[in-house]
Amino acid sequence: MQQGGEFSLGARLWRMAPLLLPLASLMWAGNFIVGRFAGLEASGLDPISLAFFRWVAASVLIVLIGGRFAWRDRQAIRRHLPILSLFGLLSVTSYNTLIYLGLQTTTALNGLLLQSVLPLMAMAFGLLLYRNPVTGRQGIGILLSLLGVAWILTRGNPTHLLEAGFGIGDLYVLAAVISYAIYSAMLRQRPAIHPLSFLVVAFLTGTAFLFPIWLFTGGPATLPSRPEDWLMIAYLAVFASILAALFFNQGVALIGANRATAYLHLMPVFGSFLAVALLGERLQLYHIGGALGVIAGLVVASGRPLLPRFGKDSGRP
């Protein structure tokens, strides 16, 4: 029991990083599936247009939802606009656009494998930029998770790694991973403003950086032409943009970047199961074995049970 009465259920859930971070990974896995689907579909929705219209829609929604918080925090935003703009550039402009570009030419195997090294890169940049310590438990947990991810992506046959080459699509995905790893490591410098204020500024600045790229690569001639294109944009704007970012940023605030980014190993796990459900791929035993490896790694790295407990201390880092 807290002073002044019990927290509401929503407030208690908001303090549960082991719940928020897997949800963010699930939504971002959906982003990966949508990006791959768009890359395979013959439509006018090219990667730049997909990214641009996603963030235009997300920016409109986040301003409607969080504009009043941004106005309240306007003085702090003005003081910290350079670092906030950098967050927008790294996450909104760079990461997702490079992912969509990469998914045009690389395989899902290569893309997801490169994506899985994001937590390790975030730890590396945390060590490089801020001298963040990496514990032995975290290192073992990350290794277990990587083994689980590799087991899924190689279909239980490690020789697949030797058969996968690296082309321009792989380089795009690698650049995207580096961009988001830097973003994740730098979240410790996020100004003390409301989470919605942070997203308002990041979305608007990131979309502003993306606008001239969209104009240069086709502009109004690339408007979405099919209802399914708008449905994809709607999913990306609401779930993969606003909700996932809120959940991930809150998770970092609760348990730190090193432990939070370990949960990103769930993205290829969720992506595999989404591919089964939405893209018609068959569920195999290696999916289950790999998922168990990822879960084991998360438990070891976090130093606590993966499933959230609903006791009074369940949300403490």
The pLDDT tens digits of the residues spanning 200-233 come to 999 999 999 999 999 998 888 778 878 888 999 9
Residues present in the chain in total: 317
Q: What is the pLDDT of residue 306?
A: 47
Q: Is 98 exposed, middle or buried (0-12, 13-18, 19+ CB in 10 A)?
A: buried
How far is residue 74's CA from residue 201's CA, in Å, rounded to a whole number?
10
**Residue 198 to residue 43: CA distance in whole angstroms:** 34
DSSP, collapsed to helix, strand or coil, labels residue 133 as coil
Q: What pLDDT score does 85 carry?
A: 96
Whole-angstrom Cα distance, residue 171 to residue 166? Answer: 7
- Give residue 53's pLDDT: 95
Residues 6+ apart with CB under 8 A from 129: 185, 186
Residue type, 145: S
Residue ranges, the chain, pLDDT below 70: 1-7, 41-44, 107-110, 113, 153, 155, 160-167, 281, 302-317
* Spatial distance between the Cα atoms of 247 and 224, rounded to a whole number of angstroms: 29
What pLDDT score does 1 carry?
39
Q: For position 312, what pLDDT does the model report? A: 40
- Give the model's pLDDT for residue 160: 63
Q: What is the DSSP letter of 85?
A: H
Q: Across all residues in the chain, what is the average pLDDT? A: 81
CA dihedral 272, 273, 278, 283 (to 10 degrees): 90
Structure tokens at 156: 């239980």
Query: pTM for the full model?
Result: 0.78
Return left, alpha or beta for 282; rule: phi > 0 is left, psi -120 to 50 is alpha, else beta. beta
* Phi-psi label, residue 270: left if phi above 0, alpha if psi -120 to 50, beta otherwise: alpha
Distance between CA 290 and CA 214 in Å, rounded?
Answer: 38
What's the confidence (pLDDT) of residue 161? 58
